[in-house]
Amino acid sequence: MIQVQNLTYSYPGTEKQVLKDISFEIKEGEIFGFLGPSGAGKSTTQKVLNGLLKGFGGSVHINGTDLSKMKRSFYEKIGVAFEFPNLYLKLTALENLQLFASFFKSKTRDPDELLKMVQLEGDRDTRVEAFSKGMKMRLSFIRSLLNQPELLFLDEPTAGLDPGNARIMKDIILDLKQQGVTIFLTTHHMDDAGELCNRLAFMVEGTLPVIDSTQELRLKHGKKTVRLEYMENGMTLSDEFPIDQLAFNPTFNEILENQEILTIHTQEASLEDIFIKVTGQQLKQ
């Protein structure tokens, strides 16, 4: 769906390259995530891809068409939710959605249905200036779904949300993926990235040192062992066993049969561990 080749970008009037020769591909129907610390270039990449930033180097093709030759109708099937909610504060939630719906020629979704999806139906007639940041984020998110996009850009979609609302958003994102929507997501939140993304790219200072499937990353960088915690003679003990041939490991089986098992965990690496290991940088900056 998206092919990016040797993309470079510098903001006008600056020498410093924010994006340094990055290449990647996003397949149709997948959630592709950019994981990296703040200022790494994640949002800049999104802005280049959704046409907000012009004058980039390299090439970007979306559905086979060169981005620089894209017509305005391209946006009929694109949805963009920004990192900071940009809404009309003096208008109500419903009016914000109705006004933005008028910017599309294609049929748009019922605003009430969208408001219900993120539990804002009770606030539909409240001016947005009275909304909390989390409510604005949710409204901004559903605004990006008005035109039933085939390609969705989400910039830090769960930033500023409490765990309950973050869960609602993640469920909607996973549901959109089920419906075949291609999603490009940027985050510095490793749990979101791990839960939502099919494939991940690690971004560090405008480069992409790693692009791989989430599963592969965990397998490649994790220890292939199982950690067992158990009680023996009133004491809590733990042991690690290789996953390979685990069923035939006599010690493992002996503990399973004779001791009280407290926990069993495979020792996959967390995405944060992998990020630090591969890039030498911390995620939360």
Partner 1 sequence: MNWSAIPYDYKLLKGDPMLILSLLVPFILWALMHLLFPFLEVLVMKQWNVDISPYYRQTGIFFLMLIPMMMGMVYGFILLDERDGGIITAISVTPTGKFGYLKLRMGIPLFLSFVFIILFLFLLGLTGTLNILQLIVISLLISSQSLILLLLLGAFADNKVIGMAISKGFGILLMGPLLGFALPAPYNWSGAYSPLFWASRSLLSDSQDTFWLYASITFLFHLFLVWILFRKFTARSD
Q: Minimum distance between the CB of residue 238 and partner 1, rounded to whole angstroms?
A: 51
Count of residues near partner 1 by CB under 8 A: 28
Contact stretch for partner 1 (CB under 8 A) within 68-76, 158-166, 233-241, 266-274: 68-76
**Nearer to partner 1 among residue 93 and residue 193 (C-beta):** 93
H-state helical runs in 102-162:
111-117, 133-143
**Nearer to partner 1 among residue 85 and residue 194 (C-beta):** 85
The span from the CA of 43 to the CA of 186, in Å, is 7
Q: Which amino acid does the sequence have at 86?
A: N
Site for partner 1 in 235-254 (CB under 8 A): none
H-state helical runs in the chain:
42-49, 93-101, 111-117, 133-143, 163-178, 190-196, 214-221, 250-258, 271-279
Cβ atoms of 7 and 19 closer than 8 Å: yes
**Is there binding between residue 86 and partner 1 (CB under 8 A)?**
yes
The interface mask with partner 1, positions 6-25, x = CB under 8 A, is: ------x-------------
Contact stretch for partner 1 (CB under 8 A) within 32-40, 81-89, 224-232, 255-263: 81-89
Q: In sequence order, what are the beta bridge partners of 230?
A: 237, 261
Closest CA to 97 of 137, 143, 152: 143
Contact stretch for partner 1 (CB under 8 A) within 88-96, 166-174, 221-229, 258-266: 88-96
What would the DSSP string read from start to end of 36-49?
--TTSSHHHHHHHH
**Is there binding between residue 130 and partner 1 (CB under 8 A)?**
no
Reading the block at residue 285, the tokens are: 């900056």
Q: Minimum distance between the CB of residue 7 and partner 1, rounded to whole angstroms?
A: 17
The span from the CA of 173 to the CA of 176, in Å, is 5
**Is there binding between residue 102 and partner 1 (CB under 8 A)?**
yes
**Nearer to partner 1 among residue 136 and residue 199 (C-beta):** 136
**Is there binding between residue 107 and partner 1 (CB under 8 A)?**
no
The span from the CA of 168 to the CA of 216, in Å, is 27
Q: Minimum distance between the CB of residue 79 and partner 1, rounded to whole angstroms?
A: 8
**Is there binding between residue 89 and partner 1 (CB under 8 A)?**
yes
Q: At what angle do helices 163-178 and 133-143 cross, to 10 degrees?
A: 10
Contact stretch for partner 1 (CB under 8 A) within 23-31, 82-90, 214-222, 223-231: 82-90
Q: In sequence order, what are the beta bridge partners of 187?
A: 35
Return the SS3 of 51: coil
Q: Minimum distance between the CB of residue 216 and partner 1, rounded to whole angstroms?
A: 32
Q: Minimum distance between the CB of residue 199 and partner 1, rounded to whole angstroms?
A: 24
**Is there binding between residue 208 and partner 1 (CB under 8 A)?**
no
Q: In sequence order, what are the beta bridge partners of 232?
A: 235
CA 87, 93, 99, 100 torsion: positive or negative?
Answer: positive
- Using CB under 8 A as the criterion, which residues of the chain lie in contact with partner 1 when the complex forms? 12, 50-53, 72-73, 75-76, 78, 80, 82, 84, 86-91, 95, 99-100, 102-105, 143, 147
